[in-house]
Amino acid sequence: MTIRLSLALGACILGLATPSLAQAPAAPAERPSPEAAAAAQQRFRERFFRQYDSNRDGSVTRAEYDAAREAQFRATDRDGDGALSQVEYVAEYEGRLRADYGQRPLDDDFRRAIEQAHRRFRAIDRDGDRSISRAEYDAVAGRTFAQADSNGDATVTAADAGAIHPVSQPRRD
């Protein structure tokens, strides 16, 4: 299933990428079934609260969200150069995806999600320098939080949960 997942997804699980998947070329996007898309959206919502609700009070403030994003960026930037390479970015995402899969066998949906991560990297890399700068990373975070905070009160709660879904990245021409 092609899931348009933002960088905001998941915990900081790193280093689980396999070379063949980490280097996979991008393939044309395939449409997920409505059921698969709904299931992915539900997993995204659950992951959002699990990752960002640090005090487990049922809401995610912008401060909680920003602190988790900061930690995620630092953990993903494995070489410490202040930017994310495609290998770092995809490896971090693949680690989170493998954790979500648990004991389930990796399938075509997994492969397509990894391919989508490569496309997402290219979309986030707005200046085309083959790395995601902190500014590019933070721009995605801002869009994701704003979209999730459906009533604009700077806090995401269960009432906002319907608005929490993967953010598509603008195309670069």
DSSP category for residue 167? P
CATH level 3 topology of 19-150: Recoverin; domain 1 (1.10.238)
> What pTM, to 2 d.p., does this model score?
0.69
Q: Per residue of the chain (173 residues), give pLDDT as tens.
A: 333 333 333 333 223 333 333 334 444 456 778 888 788 778 778 888 999 999 999 999 999 999 999 999 999 999 999 999 999 999 999 998 999 899 999 999 899 999 999 999 999 999 999 999 999 999 999 998 998 898 999 999 988 866 666 544 433 43
- How would you classify residue 73: left for phi > 0, otherwise alpha for psi between -120 and 50, otherwise beta? alpha
Contact at 8 Å (CB) between 94 and 17? yes
Q: SS3 for 60?
A: strand
- So where are the chain's domains? 19-150
Q: ∠ CA(76), CA(79), CA(82), 5° rounding? A: 70
pLDDT at 148: 87
Q: Supply the angle between the helices 134-148 and 108-124 in degrees, to the nearest 10.
A: 120
Q: Dig out the tokens for 152 from the structure.
A: 């604009």
Distance CA 118, CA 29 (A): 11
Distance from chain centroid for Cα 145: 12
